[in-house]
Amino acid sequence: MLTISQLASYAGVTVRAVRHYHAKGLLPEPERDHSGYRRYDSHAVVELVRIRTLAEAGVPLARVRALLAAGEQEFGAAVTDIDRRLRAEIRQLQRHRARIARLAAGDSLALPPEAVAYLDRMRALGLPDRMVEGERDAWILIAAQLPEHMPFYMKAKQQQLDDPATLQFYRDLVHAADWEPDDPRVATMSDQLVALIEADGEGEGPEGYQEAMPDELAQLLDAVFLASVRIAPRLLELLEERGWRGWTKLERIPTPQRAAAFD
């Protein structure tokens, strides 16, 4: 005969668990010896192992009671159902593991390889983390909406990094991000930007670059720029004075003469 401690040890549970199963009516109370202590036989060990196994499999204790009282066929069918559920949970956990592994991969969590390569090149060129992180967040938004256009966009961005003047503008913009909006250097930056735009074929970039971007997405990205860069509102204001509007999706403001030509 076994004491409650010995029973718990044989079944791989705690004494507290044994008492809990007694309280729930899952494990019958045994007879007590002349000193008033519980004494258990081998059948109690088998029952306790069954209870523990079902409980660890996630079976509610109320159902454990019913299964313990079930016939062999019903018990076998229930165990098969539990096994099916556990296998589904394992598959779900494996998917969670895959997502966690992608998290550890950094940029590749939400970006295609060509975008990761672009960000890696920005870092290799020594562009500050602040700019790289801003670009990453913007491209995550774009990749979520326009995944089929990402190779096209990334080719255009790589071409921009090939241009020394554009690369210098990127560096200057990072340093200028915290200037006061009325800093006279902002006007110089706007002139620098207009020169880049007009050197790039009226600001269109590669053929179809602007058209692929929906207006709603461009407006969302512009809002991010306006909120994160202190001089952004003033810079866009100066761009409009120089005949351009927008940021993500630049367009030339028609002059009266040009507008009349289309009437």
Evaluate if residue 206 carries a pLDDT over 50: no
- pTM tops 0.75, yes or no: no
Task: Flag the least confident range among 50-64, 91-105, 137-151, 223-237.
Answer: 91-105
Distance from CA of residue 96 to its chain's centroid? Answer: 12
Q: Find, among 70, 94, 95, 100, the residue nearest to 82 by Cα.
A: 70
The DSSP secondary-structure symbol of 38 reads: B
75 and 173 co-located in one domain: no
Evaluate if residue 126 carries a pLDDT over 80: yes
Evaluate if residue 200 carries a pLDDT over 80: no
116 and 224 co-located in one domain: yes
Average confidence (pLDDT) over 163-175: 90
Evaluate if residue 130 carries a pLDDT over 50: yes
Q: Which of 72, 103, 134 is the last residue of a domain?
A: 103
User: Which residues is 40 bridged to in the sheet?
Assistant: 2
Evaluate if residue 44 carries a pLDDT over 60: yes
153 and 202 co-located in one domain: yes
The DSSP secondary-structure symbol of 245 reads: E
Tell me if 27 sits within 8 A of 18, measured CB to CB.
Answer: yes
Higher-pLDDT residue of 259, 81:
81
Average confidence (pLDDT) over 181-207: 79
What percent of the chain is predicted at pLDDT more than 70? 88
Amino acid found at 135: E
pLDDT category at 204 given cuts 50, 70, 90 is very low
92 and 36 co-located in one domain: yes
pLDDT category at 131 given cuts 50, 70, 90 is confident
Residue 239: how many other CB atoms lie within 10 Å: 21
113 and 57 co-located in one domain: no
Tell me if 167 sits within 8 A of 125, measured CB to CB.
Answer: yes
70 and 153 co-located in one domain: no
Average confidence (pLDDT) over 5-29: 91
Tell me if 48 sits within 8 A of 7, measured CB to CB.
Answer: yes
88 and 208 co-located in one domain: no
Q: Which of 76, 103, 130 is the last residue of a domain?
A: 103
Number of domains present in the structure of the chain: 2
Average confidence (pLDDT) over 197-220: 68
Q: 49 Cβ partners below 8 Å, 6+ apart?
A: 11, 12
Longest distance between any two alpha carbons in the chain, whole Å: 112
- Quote the mean pLDDT of the chain: 84
Q: What element of type H or E holds 61?
A: helix 61-68
Q: What is the pLDDT of residues 219-263, one digit of tens each?
A: 888 888 888 888 999 999 999 999 998 888 888 888 764 444 444
Tell me if 92 sits within 8 A of 100, measured CB to CB.
Answer: no
Average confidence (pLDDT) over 177-201: 88
Query: Distance between CA atoms of 239 and 236, rounded to whole angstroms?
Result: 5
CATH number for the domain harbouring residue 15: 1.10.1660.10
pLDDT category at 50 given cuts 50, 70, 90 is confident
Quote the radius of gyration of the chain (alpha carbons, Å): 34
How deeply is 250 buried, as exposed, middle or buried, from its count of CB atoms within 10 A (0-12, 13-18, 19+)? buried
Q: Which of 68, 103, 138 is the last residue of a domain?
A: 103
86 and 211 co-located in one domain: no
142 and 228 co-located in one domain: yes
Tell me if 161 sits within 8 A of 167, measured CB to CB.
Answer: yes
151 and 41 co-located in one domain: no
Higher-pLDDT residue of 209, 218:
218
Average confidence (pLDDT) over 48-65: 86
The residue behind tokens 């207009």 is 194
194 and 68 co-located in one domain: no
Higher-pLDDT residue of 86, 125:
125
- Residue 263 tokens, joined: 């009437």
**Sequence-ordered alpha helix ranges (H) in 125-231:** 129-145, 150-162, 164-176, 185-199, 215-228
Evaluate if residue 207 carries a pLDDT over 50: no
Evaluate if residue 71 carries a pLDDT over 60: yes
78 and 114 co-located in one domain: no
Evaluate if residue 105 carries a pLDDT over 60: no
Torsion over CA: 73, 63, 3, 12 (sign)? positive
- Residue 43 tokens, joined: 């059948």
Q: Containing domain of residue 40, as a range?
A: 4-103
